[in-house]
C-alpha cells in the first residue's frame, strides 16, 4: 500500500489541499496505476471526483475503497463501542427474520452480546476502544467488516415531480425554509428505506448522542445514491438555482435520543430527507428539526458555530430572534440555508428496529 510519504501521494494530497482538484485527480490516478489495491488512493481520488462534480467516478472509487477496507478477509479491528455492537446485533436479527442472514444463529448472537458486554464494562455506555480480550476472528470480522450490503436499484432513484411545498421566510433577505412533503416517489422511498435499514454500514457510532452515521467512503455510496444525488441537485435548482452537491451522509438514531444540538454547516444549503414512516414517531411534538432565525456571521470559525451548542442556546434565548419548527413526517424533506443555526429535535420513536429515525443529508454549494 502507498503511504502518505510516497512523493506522488504527497503531491496529490498537497494539490487537493490547495484546491487543485484536477491535478490531484491525475496524481492519484498515477498512484493507482502502480497499485490498484491502494485503499487510501481510491478514497482520496473519490474525493477529487466529488469536488469536480463527477459523482459517477466518485462512486466507483468510494466503492473500490470500501471493498478493500471492509470486505477483505483480513480487516483491522477499529475501536468499537457497545452501542454500535448492540445496533449490529439488532440489525442482524432483523436480517435473519427476513431471510437475509440465515447464518446469524444463537451462537453468533451470543458472541456479539458477550462482546457488547465486555465493551460496556470496560468503556461504559458512551466511549469506544479496542476489545479488552481476544475474540474469535469471525466475530471480529463481523464487527469490523460488512456482512450485508444489498445493491439498491438505481432505476428507482427519483424525486416526486410535484411534492407539496410549504415555504417559510427566515427574515433575512430572501432566505427561506422549504418543506417538501411526498418528496420521493414510492419506489425511491421504499428502496432508500430498505437500504438504510438493511445495509450493515453504520460504522460511525456516536453513543453519547445515541445515533450512528453512514458515510460515502464506508458503504453509503452506490449507483442508486449517484442517481438520487442528480435528482436532489434538480430539486435544489428549483428553489435556489444551480448547485454542486458536495457531501452526503445518513444518521440513524436510537429509539430515544436527545438529537443533535444547535450548529451550522459548511455549505450553502442543506436538504434533509426523512424516510421513516410517520407512524414510527411516538410524539408528534418531537422528532423533527428547529431552525433558528439566526445566520452565523461570516467571521465565525467552524469550531465556533459547530461546537458551542450551550452558547448558541443562551445567545438565541437572549436575542429573541425566533425559530422555525418543522414537525417530523415520513417522506418529508427540509431545504434551508446551511449557515442558519439548526438542531434535530428530541427523538421518541417506536422501539422496533425498522422504526428508527433516519435522516439523509445532502449538502450543496452554489455552482
Domains along the chain with CATH numbers: 7-52 (no CATH), 82-144 (no CATH), 154-366 (2.60.120.620)
- Which cell is 21 given? 482538484
Whole-structure pTM value: 0.94
10-residue mean pLDDT profile of the chain (367 residues): values are 76 96 97 93 97 96 93 61 96 97 95 94 90 79 90 93 97 94 97 98 95 97 97 97 97 97 94 98 96 91 82 85 96 97 97 98 96
Q: How many C-beta neighbours within 10 Å does residue 366 have?
A: 12
The contacts of residue 227 (CB under 8 Å, 6+ apart) are: 154, 155, 157, 158
pLDDT (tens digit, 9 = 90+) per residue, 74-124? 444 578 999 999 999 999 999 999 999 999 999 999 999 999 999 999 999
What's the confidence (pLDDT) of residue 73? 42
10 Å Cβ neighbour count for 47? 19
DSSP 134-176: ---HHHHHHHHS-S------GGG--B-SS-EEEEEE-SSTT-E
CB 261 within 8 A of CB 340: no
Please state, in angstroms and rounded to a whole number, the distance separating the CA atoms of residues 65 and 70: 9
Strand partners for 270? 336, 363
- Give the SS3 label for residue 96: helix
Cβ proximity of 199 and 87 under 8 Å: no
What are residue 263's DSSP bridge partners?
Answer: 342
The pLDDT value recorded for residue 77 is 57
pLDDT value at residue 257? 97
pLDDT at residue 2 in the model: 55
Q: Residue 74's pLDDT is what?
A: 45
Q: Residues 229, 246: contact at Cβ < 8 Å?
A: no
Determine the Cα–Cα distance for residues 229 and 242; give it in Å rounded to an integer: 13
Residue 31 backbone dihedrals phi, psi, to 5 degrees: -60, -45
Amino acid at each position: 500500500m502507498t503511504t502518505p510519504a510516497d512523493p506522488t501521494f504527497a503531491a496529490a494530497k498537497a494539490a487537493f489541499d490547495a484546491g487543485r482538484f484536477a491535478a490531484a485527480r491525475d496524481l492519484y490516478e498515477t498512484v493507482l496505476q502502480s497499485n490498484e489495491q491502494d485503499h487510501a488512493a481510491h478514497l482520496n481520488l473519490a474525493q477529487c471526483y466529488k469536488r469536480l462534480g463527477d459523482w459517477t467516478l466518485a462512486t466507483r472509487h468510494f466503492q473500490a475503497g470500501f471493498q478493500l477496507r471492509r470486505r477483505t478477509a483480513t480487516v483491522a479491528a477499529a475501536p468499537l463501542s457497545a452501542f454500535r455492537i448492540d445496533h449490529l446485533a439488532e440489525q442482524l436479527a432483523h436480517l435473519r427474520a427476513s431471510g437475509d442472514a440465515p447464518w446469524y444463529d444463537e451462537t453468533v448472537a451470543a458472541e456479539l452480546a458477550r462482546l457488547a458486554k465486555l465493551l460496556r464494562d470496560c468503556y461504559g455506555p458512551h466511549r469506544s476502544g479496542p476489545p479488552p480480550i481476544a475474540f474469535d476472528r469471525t466475530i471480529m470480522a463481523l464487527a469490523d467488516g460488512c456482512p450485508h450490503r444489498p445493491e439498491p436499484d438505481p432505476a428507482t432513484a427519483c424525486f416526486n415531480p410535484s411534492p407539496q411545498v410549504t415555504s417559510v421566510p427566515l427574515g433575512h433577505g430572501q432566505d427561506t425554509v422549504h418543506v417538501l412533503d411526498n418528496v420521493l416517489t414510492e419506489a425511491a422511498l421504499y428502496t432508500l428505506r430498505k437500504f438504510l435499514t438493511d445495509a450493515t454500514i453504520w460504522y460511525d457510532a456516536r453513543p453519547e448522542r445515541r445515533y450512528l452515521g453512514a458515510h460515502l467512503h464506508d458503504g453509503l455510496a452506490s449507483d442508486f445514491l449517484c442517481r438520487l444525488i442528480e435528482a436532489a441537485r434538480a430539486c435544489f435548482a428549483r428553489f435556489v438555482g444551480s448547485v454542486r452537491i458536495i457531501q452526503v451522509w445518513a444518521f440513524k438514531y436510537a429509539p430515544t435520543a436527545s438529537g443533535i444540538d444547535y450548529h451550522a454547516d459548511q455549505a450553502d444549503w442543506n436538504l434533509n430527507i426523512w424516510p421513516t414512516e410517520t407512524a414510527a414517531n411516538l410524539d408528534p411534538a418531537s422528532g423533527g428539526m428547529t431552525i433558528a432565525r439566526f445566520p452565523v456571521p461570516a467571521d465565525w470559525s467552524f469550531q465556533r458555530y459547530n461546537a458551542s451548542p450551550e452558547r448558541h442556546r443562551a445567545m438565541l434565548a437572549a436575542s429573541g430572534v425566533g425559530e422555525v419548527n418543522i414537525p417530523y413526517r415520513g417522506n418529508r424533506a427540509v431545504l434551508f440555508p446551511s449557515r442558519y443555526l439548526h438542531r434535530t429535535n428530541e427523538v421518541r420513536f417506536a422501539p422496533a428496529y425498522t422504526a428508527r429515525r433516519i435522516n439523509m443529508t445532502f449538502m450543496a454549494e452554489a455552482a
